[in-house]
Amino acid sequence: MSCNHLFKPLTRRQAITRLGGGFGMVALSNMLNTSLAQAAAVEPASKGTLTQLHFKPKAKRVIFLFMNGGVSHVDTFDPKPMLDKYDGQPTPGGPILTQRKTGNLMKSPFKFSPHGQSGLEFSDLWPNLGTVADDICVIRSMWADIPNHEPTLTMWNTGSNFLGRPSMGSWITYGLGTMNDNLPGFVVLTPTEPLTIGSPLWSSAFLPAVYQGTLVHNKWTPDEAFQAQKVVPNIIRAAEEEPQLRDIGFLRHMNEMHLQRVRERDSNLDASIETMETAFRMQTEAPDVFDVSKESKATLEMYGPGNTALGCMMAARLVEKGVRMVQTYYGKGDPWDAHNDIMTYRKLAKDSDQAYAALIKDLKQRGLFEDTLVVCGTEFGRTPAIQTSNENVGGVVNGRDHNVTGFSIWLAGAGVKGGMAYGATDDFGFKAVEKKVHVHDLHATILYLLGIDHTKLTYNYSSRDFRLTDTAGEVVHEILA
- Higher-pLDDT residue of 132 and 194 is 132
Q: What is the mean pLDDT of residues 169-176?
A: 98
Domain boundaries, the chain: 46-233+285-479
What are the Cα distances from residue 259, in Å, to 38, 72, 140, 218, 255? 8, 56, 57, 38, 6
Among residues 334, 287, 336, 318, the alpha carbon closest in space to that of 189 is found at 318
- Higher-pLDDT residue of 389 and 436 is 436
At 100 the pLDDT is 75
What are the Cα distances from residue 49, in Å, to 70, 165, 207? 34, 18, 12
* Predicted confidence (pLDDT) at residue 437 exceeds the cutoff of 70: yes
CA distance 365 to 343: 34
Percent of the chain scoring above 90 in pLDDT: 62
Please report, in angstroms and rounded to a whole number, the separation of the first and last CA atoms in the chain.
Answer: 38
Confidence of residue 244 (pLDDT cuts 50, 70, 90): low
Please give the DSSP secondary-structure letter assigned to residue 42: P
Please state which CATH number belongs to domain 46-233+285-479. 3.40.720
| 32-53 residue pLDDT tens | 333 333 332 333 335 689 999 9
CA distance 452 to 448: 5
At 29 the pLDDT is 35
At 217 the pLDDT is 81
Cβ-proximal residues to 135 (8 Å cutoff; 6+ apart), any chain:
360, 369, 412, 413, 418, 419
At 32 the pLDDT is 33
Q: What does 326-345 look like in DSSP terms, one character per residue?
A: EEEE-SSS-TT--SSBGGGH
| 282-303 residue pLDDT tens | 666 777 888 888 899 999 999 9
| 189-229 residue pLDDT tens | 998 766 788 899 999 999 998 899 999 887 655 555 445 55
* Predicted confidence (pLDDT) at residue 15 exceeds the cutoff of 70: no
> Are 181 and 7 contacting, i.e. CB atoms less than 8 angstroms apart?
yes
What are the Cα distances from residue 434, in Å, to 109, 343, 345, 423? 26, 29, 27, 5
Percent of the chain scoring above 70 in pLDDT: 73
Q: Three-state SS across 113-147?
A: EEECCCCEEEECCCCCHHHHHHHEEEEEEEECCCC
At 293 the pLDDT is 81
What average pLDDT does the chain have? 83
* Predicted confidence (pLDDT) at residue 19 exceeds the cutoff of 50: no
Q: How far is CA 164 from the centre of its chain?
A: 18
Q: Model-level pTM?
A: 0.85
Confidence of residue 277 (pLDDT cuts 50, 70, 90): low
